[in-house]
Amino acid sequence: MRKETSTNFENEAMILESCAMAYTISLIGGRWKPAVLWLLITSARRYTQLKVAIPGISERMLTATLKELEGDDLIRRIVHSSFPPRVDYELTVLGRSMEPLLKNMSEWGKVHQFRIEIST
């Protein structure tokens, strides 16, 4: 966490206010957020389903990622009052509006993922 009086904090706030792309990337960027959002496009999922579907993610990182996405109103946490208690995660309306963006990013990645650049 940065100090709110730091130059770095001020620069980040300025770029997020002035650049829509930077704002979008701040919401979905990082190692795990795109994977979580991509999985939730098809249906709501339980925590365990997400954990199994995302190889290499730790419980701590999944929990932190889910909290960040929920805080940004991209996903919703639904607690069912059953026994045992059950929690599902699903995209919000705002999260669902990112579906075309996520699909385009995925398609772009499929095309360019294995491209080999040779440096001379």
pLDDT in tens, 26-75: 999 999 999 999 999 999 999 999 999 999 999 999 999 999 999 999 99
* 37 & 49 share domain: yes
Structure tokens at 28: 């979905």
24 within a domain of the structure (yes/no): yes
AA letter at 13: A
Whole-structure pTM value: 0.83
Distance CA 15, CA 21 (A): 9
The angle formed by the CA atoms of residues 63, 86 and 102, to the nearest 5 degrees, is: 50
Strand, helix or coil for residue 120: coil
Cβ neighbours, 10 Å, residue 85: 8
* 61 & 78 share domain: yes
* 51 & 5 share domain: no
Cα dihedral 67, 101, 94, 55 in deg (nearest 10): -30
